[in-house]
Amino acid sequence: MFFLDLLNQNEEEVFKKAILIFDTSALLELYFFNKTIAIEILQKTTEIFEERVFITEQILFEYLKNREKVIEKPLILYDELMDKKSNYGYIVKIMDKIVEVEDEMNKKIDKIDGIVQTFKEMCSKKDKHPFLSQEIIEKISTFVKEYSNKLKNTDIKIKERIGEIESLASEEIKGRKEEIKKIINNDDIKDIIDKKFKKGESYTYSDLMDIMKEGEFRYSNSIPPGYEDKEKKGFQKYGDLIIWKQIIQICEKEDKDCIFISNDKKEDWDDKELSGSPRLELIKEFNEITMKMFYKYNLKDFIYKMNSYFPSFIDIKSIEIIDEYYLGKILKDDIENFSDEFLNEIRDKIVDRFIDEDYFNLDTDYEDYSIENISIIKIDRNLCKYKIEVYCLVEKTRYDYLGRNDGTKEILIPTNKINYEGFLVYNVERSFKWENDTIETINVTKKLIEDNIEKHDAAIWIEDEDMEMYEEINR
C-alpha cells in the first residue's frame, strides 16, 4: 500500500487490525484513575485487541522502575495532613487553632481575675467610697472563680480530646498508607500487563551500543525521537530511541500498523502544527521499514476513540469520571496560570484596606503575597468551584512629623513598626467553555470566606542621642 493511501486509512478499521503499544507514561497515568475504571479500561482493551497488545522491553523496564514511586505518591499527602508546615496539614492546623483560642481565653480569664482582685480591694473599705457589701463582692468573686474553674477544666478536657483525635487520625492515616503499600505486591494493573501484554524481544548489549552510536548522529541533527533527552546520562539518554526501534521491530515482524499510546508531548515525538499527531519523519521512517502506518494518541484520546468505535468499551458513568479527571488537570494548570492576576487584584484590595489617616506617614518596608493552596471543590463541564488560600504580609514603618529645619526640610522620626499578616481564603466560581483541551473563561466570581489577617503595632524606642541624630540628619 502506498504511503498516501496509508495516511488516508479508515481509523476505525485501523483500531480493529493494528498492534497496540502503551508507553510508560500512559501505563503510569492509569494509577491516578479510579481503580475500578483503570482495570476496566485494560481488561476491555485486551479483550478487544486480543493478541495485538504488546509492550517493548524498554517500556517494561521503565514501567517497573517507576511503578512503585507512582503508587506511593499519595503517601506524601497523608503525611502532610499531620504536618503544620504543609499546605495540606489541615488536621494539625485545626487542632492548633482550637488550642490557640483556648490559650487566648485563659489569658483573658487571668486578666479578669486581676480585675476582680482590684475591685475587691477598692470596694471593701467602709471608710472610703466606693464601698459595697461583702455579700455582693463575694457573689461576684465566686461567680468569676466558678466560671474560671469551669473554663480551665474545659480546657483540660479539650486538650485531652485533641490528643485523642490526633491519635485516631494518625492510626487511620497509618492504615491508609499500609493499604497503599499493599498495592505494590497486589497490583491488578501489573497483573494484566504480565498476563495479557505480549513482550517484545530483548536487545543484546551489542544491539544497544549500535543504537547509541546511531543516536549520537540522530541527536546531533535533531532527528526524532529522543533528542530532547540528550542531556541525560548513559542508556537513559537513548531510552526513547530504544523504544522506537523496538516498536518498529515488533510491527515489522507482525506485519501490522501501530497504535502507540503515549502522554509524551515533546517536540521529538509530536508534530508542532498538527496537535496530537506524530512527527512526519517518524511516520516516514516507520513506513519505509515496515510498509505500515504509525499512529500516536495520548491516553485520553485513545479512551474516547475506543468508546466511539466499540460502544461496549466502558459505560457513560466511567467516561464522566474520566472527563472530570482530565478537566481537573487542565483546570489546575489554568488556575495556577491565573494566580498572578488574582494576586495583583488581592494586593490592590489590601492596600486600600490598610490606608488610614496616617497613610502619608507610612513607608512600606516589605510586601509578600502568595497563593499557599488551591483546592478544587467541584467540577462539571461548564463550572468549577475551588478555594484559594492567600498568604499576606505587609510591613510598614510609621513616622512622626517633628517640624522643619532651617532649610524647610521636614523632620521625620520612626515611631512604630506595623505588620499586617495572615491568610485570606476565597471561594471562587468559574464558568467556562472546554473544547479541545482549551479553557475559555466566561465569568469568575470571588467571595471572601475567611480573613485571618492581624495587625501588630510595636513602638520603636528612640534614645535621646538617636533623636539628636535624626534631627541632625534632617537638617
3-state DSSP assignment of residue 315: coil
Cell of 138: 463575694
Is a pLDDT exceeding 80 seen at residue 224?
Answer: yes
Residue 81 CA to residue 92 CA, distance in Å, equals 7
Ranges of H-type helices in 54-133: 57-71, 73-80, 90-123
Cell of 384: 468549577
Give the mean pLDDT of 130-155: 83
Residue 259 CA to residue 23 CA, distance in Å, equals 11
3-state DSSP assignment of residue 325: helix
- The region of weakest confidence among 111-115, 294-298, 398-402 is 398-402
Region of 95 (left: φ > 0; alpha: ψ -120 to 50; beta: rest) is alpha
Is a pLDDT exceeding 60 seen at residue 466?
Answer: no
User: Contact at 8 Å (CB) between 377 and 386?
Assistant: yes
Q: Kindly report the number of other CB atoms within 10 A of residue 447's CB atom.
A: 9
How many Cα atoms sit within 13 Å of 51 on the Cβ side? 2
Give the mean pLDDT of 106-119: 81
Show Cβ contacts of residue 395 under 8 Å, excluding neighbours closer than 6 positions.
Answer: 364, 365, 366, 367, 417, 418, 419
User: Contact at 8 Å (CB) between 224 and 80?
Assistant: no
Nearest Cα residue to 22 out of 31, 10, 13: 31
pLDDT band at residue 359, thresholds of 50, 70 and 90? Answer: very low
- The region of weakest confidence among 165-169, 279-283, 323-327 is 323-327
pLDDT at 46: 96
pLDDT at 357: 44
